Structure 1
């Protein structure tokens, strides 16, 4: 946690806020960057497209996430970031990030922690795609988002809004849309969870976590 002075300094470091329409690209792969982006409202996702037109969603970000903090030392991204919904973001020039980290150890640790948690989530997604069944991949994604959204007051153990399509879910879990639909139906028939009308309805969170082999430790929510 950071003190009030550091919190005020962080808020003051934002140069402006910007709104993006749903599905609009926020950061394009390879473009030179001189700023970082903090998500204030809505959902964004990171993605990478292959030459043959396939898409892999690499991360889903929720309000409070820096979506491209690693652009500060790297100066560009090797993937793109797009608005999933209509979003509002705060822009932090790299020069302001440099000043923040120079003046405050607490803010430096906060930004470092955010980047490390981002990497931990990425590793867990890699485990899902490489080692979990199709059913467990979807269950794990729902469990992760439930835990993260509950932390910021946008969900509870009974469900949460999720403005994704079934194609998005397929792209995030490495499944085909047809197989994704089949696994969603299986989870629904088992009485665990339903995904409809841009909302996840959770009927049995404990069993859903069991199916997913979900341990929230990698999210460092404590």
Structure 2
């Protein structure tokens, strides 16, 4: 047998007489070294965890076909409600309309430049050939720059507003969400009736 190092904690505890016991953890409590593969289905060990998962709507295993449909329908209704509430919150945002207008202007300029390049390529422009080539290049550059700038502008300036509105909508209670949607539909209905009367 090998001898134990005298500086080891267990050896020192034995010598001093206050042996508290050193046990190893069981292999069953060990955590996996890496995440499970995509084809592996991880199932909770206890029935209590399975029930909690089913209540949260995460697992549809063990439910009848009608229960699964009802659960999915409820999730879709909740998503639709959150989407509608976030849209209503965005309508009240003063910066959102102006930023969307800038996005659409950039996109429209890019599309018009693309259309102009196509017209020059098709020969509708009756100008000289040496003028057509620079017009095509400049038009394509303008088109690419405007279209790419529009999408970058959307990601940088508009998406944060959308994400914030969605976060606020998700934070609302269901009753508040429904009340906000009903107020918005009533206001839209009143606007339509006012237009009809004019």
Question: What is the TM-score of this pair, normalised by structure 1?
Answer: 0.20
Question: What is the TM-score of this pair, normalised by structure 2?
Answer: 0.22
Q: Which has the higher helix share?
A: 2
Question: Of the two, which has the highest radius of gyration?
Answer: 2
